[in-house]
Amino acid sequence: MVQTTEALPQGEPNHAPHEAVDLAQTPAGRTVRRIGHGGVFVPADPDDVAEPHESTATLMPRTEAAVRRDLREDRFDATTSFDYLLSGLAASYPDGHLPVGGRLNETRDALMRLGAAMIEPAAAPGPLDATVPAVYTYWGQFIDHDITLNTNGPDDGSGPGGDKALGDVVSDPFRAFRPKVVVRSLHNGRVPLLDLDSLYGSGPRFEGEKDRGTTRSEAAYVPGSVKLRLGRVATEPLGPFSLVAPGDDPQRDLPRSSEPGSERMPLIPDSRNDENLVVAQFHVAMIRFHNATVDWVARHEPWSATTQRELFNRAQQLVRYHYQWLVVHDYLRTLTKPGVLDTVLATGPKLFRPARRVSMPLEFAVAAFRFGHSMVRGTYDYNVNFTRNGPGGTATLDQLFQFTGNGGLSPSPANPLPALPSNWPIEWARFTDKGDAAAFRKARKIDPFLADGLGDLLNEGNGAAGSVRALLKHLAQRNLLRGYMLAIPTGEAVAKELGARPLTPEQLRQNASPELVAALDDLDGTPLWYYVLKEAEVQGNGNFLGEVGSRVLVETFLYLLRLDDESFMRRPGRDWTPAHGVRFDDRRLITTLPDLLVFAGVLPIRHDKAGRPIFRKTKNGYAGHDGA
């Protein structure tokens, strides 16, 4: 393993790696292309000399060089660090962790069997539907892509002892690393500050501004405008399918490249948001919310937007504030145990004291925040066409992966389409209503079982073979092995450290198959990811996280928001609230995610007397349009 040195003192800054680097090459402005679920940093094609907005490389060459230098020289200049939320458990390694050393292969085998048993059983006990609307699954995925990007990759053999990039769970032989090695070697390609860099990248460049026309993120913007681009869908019905309301609104897809060799590639700062159709449509909604906010600022705050730059900056600030406020007061309040959020809001986050100030907690990123994988359904009530008794039936997971750029936007990989078909825009009303009695419009319960499709991911591992291919496609096994490889403590150890009553062995095994029980019996402790899922089942009936999962999430998010000088929690004078943000024409506030979607023009604002949905409009048409 790599030889490590003592961690740097807390507060070590993350400077730009070189004076000549512009915003397109800093972590906050990085645009990431051609990377999939669980994807990692991969080298660029040396022959890729395309203009920034046309390049299909994961990272641009100078950014890639800076990231490689970080990995090679134990630096954190172009990247940010990971660290352990519970430093005491990391310091006591291997106590409080799954066994290593002579029991490594035995433990790995048990984790593989546990992961296999976590895929949805043929006859699952009890109802699998939660009370939480299905949108929360994919909102969580959008959040994750905004704050983490694993730059871990194959060991390049450089530096003392090699292993600078730690390898991956498919490495042979498999290895589990000491916490100090993980902290020195694992790098995050995002600044984890909930600043929506996955939406904005490095921002637009306006006439007269430095480097206009040379930065990669500019492809996401309408040229010469403060608005983000949108892709178009047809407004004519397709075959036996109906148009999805409002049928005359074409701006309902991600902007996509038409350049040869990169057809259908999303022109957004993080291509992982085109991984499946629901997260892609969520990104579309955020684009439209930004555009609608631009129009609102221009109309209601003209004094703050006398130039294009001022208009963009003010709109971006408001979008970030609304998004961050909703992450705390809608997302966390919905999915965490009652009382936990209010306690940490009152006292402030206390757990995370990383060596470097800008860090992502590993217990969060590698275990607790992966609870959303359990919420993924096998089928969805997606829109008027893909629903029960609709012409297409309910939408399957495979279809949600097919109708993306990587899936060809088509049911047939051999016959890709240039744009999203008119029968596939989402109907958010089927995903967002907490009062909807239709159980099949909810997320799956948070428990240790995953939908069948997550055991064989459609777009993953297709270039590999044999056991490597099988592991890359199996989400549960990958999650468990990654947690073991990166020295994540056991669930029991984390509960004890937090002062929570650990789940009993009987609770950890209730409602489990004999195969799952046998795998747990062969482990000396419970993997934190499995523990968080089981705790949610036991303490929240699968509708919200238990004590351990809730504490890890709340402590992490509030730490990140308090860390960010430009977050809504650091507004001079007092914390920002929606009363200081954009409003509907009737002065109503945006206090829930559905409110945001209505303001963006993608969720009906009301229905007419005949029951037809009415969507928000401005003087220029539907709210959120890009004006192009």
Name the amino acid, one letter, at 536: A
The predicted structure's pLDDT at residue 20: 47
- 226-240, 448-462, 551-565: lowest mean pLDDT where? 448-462
Q: What is the CA radius of gyration of the chain?
A: 23
Percentage of the chain beyond pLDDT 70 is: 87
Say if CB 526 and CB 217 are below 8 A apart: no
pLDDT in tens, 524-540: 999 999 999 999 999 99
Which residue, 76, 73, 79, is CA-closest to 59? 79
The predicted structure's pLDDT at residue 44: 65
| Mean pLDDT of the region 605-626 | 95
Strands (E), 299-441: 359-361, 379-380, 395-396
The predicted structure's pLDDT at residue 161: 40
Name the amino acid, one letter, at 494: V
Residue 498 pLDDT grade (very low, low, confident, very high; cuts 50, 70, 90)? very high
Q: Is the pLDDT of residue 262 over 90?
A: no
Q: Is the pLDDT of residue 155 over 50?
A: no
User: From CA 387, how far away is CA 507, in angstroms rounded?
Assistant: 36
| Mean pLDDT of the region 490-510 | 97
End-to-end CA distance of the chain: give it in Å, rounded: 54
The predicted structure's pLDDT at residue 55: 81
Q: Which residue has the tokens 């009303």?
A: 429
Q: Is the pLDDT of residue 153 over 70?
A: no
pLDDT in tens, 379-389: 999 999 999 99
Name the amino acid, one letter, at 236: E
The predicted structure's pLDDT at residue 461: 56
Q: Is the pLDDT of residue 29 over 90?
A: no
The predicted structure's pLDDT at residue 62: 79
Which residue, 366, 320, 283, 350, is CA-closest to 597? 283
Residue 346: is it exposed, middle or buried by C-beta count within 10 angstroms (0-12/13-18/19+)? exposed
- 28-32, 298-302, 359-363, 530-534: lowest mean pLDDT where? 28-32
- DSSP helix/strand/coil, 138: helix
Say if CB 344 and CB 509 are below 8 A apart: no
Q: Is the pLDDT of residue 12 over 70?
A: no
Q: What is the mean pLDDT of the chain?
A: 88
What letter would DSSP give residue 305? -
| Mean pLDDT of the region 212-232 | 93
The predicted structure's pLDDT at residue 24: 66
Q: Is the pLDDT of residue 171 over 50?
A: yes
- 170-184, 241-255, 465-479: lowest mean pLDDT where? 465-479
Q: Is the pLDDT of residue 71 over 60?
A: yes
Question: Residue 237, preceding bond cis, omega within 30 degrees?
Answer: no
The predicted structure's pLDDT at residue 61: 79
- Angle at the Cα of 98 from the Cα atoms of 94 and 99, rounded to 5 degrees: 70
Say if CB 519 and CB 509 are below 8 A apart: no
Q: Is the pLDDT of residue 88 over 80?
A: yes
- 101-110, 152-161, 281-290: lowest mean pLDDT where? 152-161
**Positive or negative CA dihedral for 519, 522, 523, 526?**
positive
pLDDT in tens, 304-329: 889 999 999 999 999 999 999 999 99
| Mean pLDDT of the region 537-556 | 98
Q: Find the helix or strand (DSSP H, E) in which 194 lies.
A: none
Name the amino acid, one letter, at 229: R
The predicted structure's pLDDT at residue 402: 94
pLDDT in tens, 110-143: 999 999 999 886 555 566 899 999 999 999 999 9
Q: Is the pLDDT of residue 209 over 80?
A: yes
Residue 59 pLDDT grade (very low, low, confident, very high; cuts 50, 70, 90)? confident
Q: Is the pLDDT of residue 495 over 80?
A: yes
| Mean pLDDT of the region 501-527 | 96
Say if CB 357 and CB 563 are below 8 A apart: yes
The predicted structure's pLDDT at residue 272: 92
Say if CB 536 and CB 525 are below 8 A apart: no
| Mean pLDDT of the region 578-590 | 97
The predicted structure's pLDDT at residue 7: 35
DSSP letters for 65-127: HHHHHHHHHT--SSSEEEE-S-HHHHHTTTTTS---GGGHHHHHHHHHHHHHHHB--TT-SS-
Say if CB 312 and CB 325 are below 8 A apart: no
The predicted structure's pLDDT at residue 602: 98
| Mean pLDDT of the region 13-20 | 48
The predicted structure's pLDDT at residue 38: 59
The predicted structure's pLDDT at residue 355: 92
The predicted structure's pLDDT at residue 280: 98
| Mean pLDDT of the region 34-46 | 65
DSSP letters for 267-300: -SSBGGGGSSHHHHHHHHHHHHHHHHHHHHHHHH
| Mean pLDDT of the region 251-266 | 91
Residue 160 pLDDT grade (very low, low, confident, very high; cuts 50, 70, 90)? very low
The predicted structure's pLDDT at residue 63: 82
Say if CB 616 and CB 602 are below 8 A apart: no
| Mean pLDDT of the region 14-19 | 48
- 111-115, 199-203, 231-235, 461-465: lowest mean pLDDT where? 461-465
